[in-house]
A and B are shown apart, each in its own frame.
Chain A
Amino acid sequence: MAAPKLMDFDRALELFEPVLGFEVHVELNTKTKMFSDAPNFFGGEPNTNVTPVDLGLPGSLPVVNEQAVRYSISLGLALGCSIAESSRFARKNYFYPDLAKNYQISQHDEPIAYRGSVDVELPDGRTVTVPIERAHMEEDAGKLTHVGGSTGRIQGAEYSLVDYNRAGVPLVEIVTDIIYGAEKDAPELAKAYVSTIRDIVIALGISDAKMERGNLRCDANISLSPRGSGILGTRTETKNVNSLRSVERAIRYEIQRQAAILDAGGTITQETRHWHEDTGRTSAGRPKSDADDYRYFPEPDLLPVQPSTELIEELRQALPEAPALRRRRLREAWGFTELEFRDVVNSGLLNELDATVAAGASPQAARKWWTGEIARLANVAGVDSASLVSAEQVAQLIELIEAGTLTDRLARQVLEGVIAGEGSPAEVVDSRGLAVVSDDGALIAAIDEALAAQPDVLAKIRDGKVQAAGAVIGAVMKAMRGSADAARVRELVLERANSAPE
């Protein structure tokens, strides 16, 4: 496939205003599914976490999971939504084998939560209020594997295999209103919005919220409005965006792609687009019209949900701290500068840092490792940092550094081992033999040897040319195979150089 023409991002913004909208699906972490008592666990042997309800077998009847309703109300409240006095499920009819019933039980015109807003903080500190149209309950679909196509995708597939373990997993779909005014920050806003939703559901404890596992999924709608025209452009809906980083990249890409087409006099096709992490592009999917007819009608097998005011108040009282307040509190507790803190928030690493500090690490050390080496490795691997290591592992690593067992350089090697699945930091230190040699005796011997081997350097150091010590330090580190603390070596080199006999 030839690379599509892209317009320079800044130029695109001069000509067009990006208009955004998001649909975020959150998988709830209830014990059972939305409408059946099968375990809410995706994975394991295919088609084992299923009941007759999940397979849509004749005569089976769905029953609503009470916990899923409570979670949905809590999420609605956290999004500043009104909770419907009466809400109903509806059948969304379509022919596709990811659900066995030929319809998905969802909510249509009577969602459980409606009209709210979420404050989202941008990298530059600006806060944008994202309007929420609704949050509704529905069931997840099964997993299809396409066989026979060259790429494992649907194009060219000969047949498909279906696993219904995920069918019926409780979902809340959060739909925003149209978002104007994001301007050049549109990609950052997209990322910050999804990150904020993730923070909210994690704080509520209602979802595992791991994007790489599909617990949290974002469909990003974007269109471009020609400056001064007041006309909304045709939108595309980008799917398959499964990391915070991809959300940002996908929006940036679509702005550049659409701008190039419009500027060349073309038109945008209203369609879904698939994001490809490897190429950093989107490709055309199904044409989509506003008139997509799912023949919604009220689900006759389920009764209306009418939460009492007492229940709503109970859940409102139990809401956790709002993300913005929490950020303020953490920044003060950690004593970070505004820049340091923003760096953490923009990297989407606030929860990881919080957990790492809770596991005993100092805030500064936790910040240094998460936003430094771990972020770098995650970037190289094209994944989110949190999927590489746990907060506990990072805290253990920092503890080893602070105890003097590891230098930063050795710690980076240990980190690699931990990420490669070699065990806890302590185990990797043992198995790879990476501990710092803290016995000065061995160091001094190596230093004396190195100084003796380089008398010219020794002379320079004695003349006060301290930077000359680098050659000796390098030789010593090499002799110690890197397992020495460079700062300590430097200290000792200077000490020995000035005390050794002429």
Chain B
Amino acid sequence: MSEISAEQVAHLAMLARIELSPEEIASLTVELGSIVDNVAKVSAVATPDLPATSHPIPLVNVFRPDVVGETLTQEQALSGAPEAHDGRFRVSAILGEEQ
């Protein structure tokens, strides 16, 4: 069984600024646990001689020329923001420090 706890889900929800009810936390704890368990199965069968499968399609070097395209207007950029001020996204004060 997975080691995902309800506390971890609640913490993650806080970090992601997603409001979850206790019922949602409970069901997500089970679902996330099941996902993690399934991923763990992959680790169990993936031996070192198996190449990584993050990029299964044999495509490489897909580039874009360095040419300026269209940008959003400030109004468009901020249209999905819960709060904006002075043309910028307004976010809660963050404990910690600048990256």
Which positions 274-332 of chain A face chain B at CB distance < 8 Å? Answer: 274, 285-286, 297-298, 300, 302-307
Looking at the complex, which one of A46, A65, A158 makes contact with B93 (CB distance below 8 Å)?
A158
- Tell me which residues from 13 to 38 in chain B have a Cβ below 8 Å from any Cβ of chain A: 15-16
Chain B hits for A37, CB < 8 A:
64, 67-70
B91 within 8 A of A: yes
Is there a chain A Cβ closer than 8 Å to B48's Cβ? no
Question: Do B60 and A306 touch (CB < 8 A)?
Answer: yes
CB B95 to nearest CB in A, in angstroms, measures 8
Q: Which of B15, B63, B71 contacts A38 (CB 8 A)?
A: B71
A41 to chain B, nearest CB (A): 9
The distance from the CB of B77 to the nearest CB of chain A, in whole angstroms, is: 4
In the docked arrangement, what's the CA distance between A79 and B94, Å?
37
Q: A94 interface residue, CB < 8 Å from B?
A: yes
B71's nearest neighbour on chain A, judged by CB, is: A38
Tell me whether B54 and A46 are in contact (CB under 8 A): no
- Render A128-156 as a binary contact track against B, CB cut-off 8 A, 1 for contact: 00000000000001001110100000100
> What residues of B have a CB within 8 angstroms of the CB of A97 in the complex?
89, 91, 94
A68–B66 Cα distance when bound, in Å, is 8
Selected contact of B77 from candidates A32, A47, A303, CB within 8 Å: A47
Chain A residues, Cβ within 8 Å of B70? 37, 51
Q: How far is the CA of A302 from the CA of B55 in the complex (A)?
A: 9
A86/B60 in contact, CB under 8 A: yes
**How far is A298 from B98 in the complex, measured between Cα atoms in Å?**
25
Q: Considering the complex, which residues of chain A in the window 145-179 have a beta carbon less than 8 Å from any beta carbon of chain B?
A: 145-146, 148, 154, 157-164
Chain B proximity of A66: nearest CB distance (Å): 4
Between B52, B66, B92, B97, the greatest number of chain A beta carbons within 10 A of the residue's beta carbon is seen for: B66
**Min CB gap A439→B, angstroms:** 56
Any A CB within 8 A of the CB of B43: no
Q: Contact check, A297 vs B54: say whether CB atoms are below 8 A apart.
A: yes
Tell yes or no: A419 within 8 A of B by CB.
no
Assess the B68–A31 pair: CB atoms within 8 A.
yes
Partner of A304, one of B55, B66, B68, B93: B55
Q: Using a Cβ–Cβ cut-off of 8 Å, how many residues does chain B contribute to the interface with A?
A: 39
Q: Which residue among A158, A274, A286 has the maximum number of chain B CB atoms within 10 Å of its CB?
A: A286
Q: Judge whether A52 is part of the interface by a CB distance below 8 angstroms.
A: yes
Interface status of B78 (Cβ within 8 A of chain A) = yes
User: Which residues from A are CB-within-8-Å of B50?
Assistant: none
**DSSP class of B's interface residues: helix, strand, loop or mixed?**
loop
Residues of B within 8 A of A162 (CB): 88-91
Residues of chain A within 8 A of B47, CB atoms compared: none
Q: Which residues 23-45 in A have Cβ within 8 Å of B in the complex?
A: 30-32, 36-39, 45
Question: In the complex, what distance in Å separates the CA atom of A47 from the CA atom of B64?
Answer: 22
The listed residue (A52, A63, A141) touching B72 by CB distance below 8 A is A52
Determine whether the beta carbon of B67 is less than 8 Å from that of A98.
no
Q: How far is the CA of A94 from the CA of B99 in the complex (A)?
A: 10
Contact across chains for A39 and B71 when beta carbons are under 8 A apart:
yes
How many Å from the CB of B22 to the closest CB on chain A?
22
Distance in angstroms from A73 CB to nearest chain B CB is: 12
Nearest chain A residue, comparing its CB with the CB of B64: A63
Contact status of A161 and B62, CB under 8 A, knowing A94-B99, A102-B16? no
B94–A161 touching, CB < 8 Å: no
Q: Are B72 and A51 in contact (CB under 8 A)?
A: yes
CA–CA, A55 to B74, complex, Å? 12
Question: Contacts A47-B87, A95-B15, A160-B91 known; A31 to B60 CB distance under 8 Å?
Answer: no
B71 pairs with A161, CB closer than 8 A? no
Contact at A164–B96, with CB atoms within 8 Å? no
> In the complex, are the beta carbons of A161 and B88 less than 8 A apart?
yes
Tell me, rounded to whole Å, the shortest Cβ–Cβ distance linking B12 to chain A: 9
Given contacts A31-B67, A32-B67, A162-B88, 11 further A-B contacts (CB under 8 A): A37-B69, A45-B87, A46-B74, A47-B74, A48-B71, A55-B72, A69-B63, A96-B99, A160-B92, A163-B87, A286-B96
Identify the A interface with B (CB < 8 A).
30-32, 36-39, 45-52, 55, 57, 63-69, 86, 88, 94-98, 102, 141, 144-146, 148, 154, 157-164, 272, 274, 285-286, 297-298, 300, 302-307
Residue ranges of B at the interface with A (Cβ–Cβ < 8 Å): 15-16, 52, 54-55, 57, 59-74, 77-78, 80, 85-94, 96-99
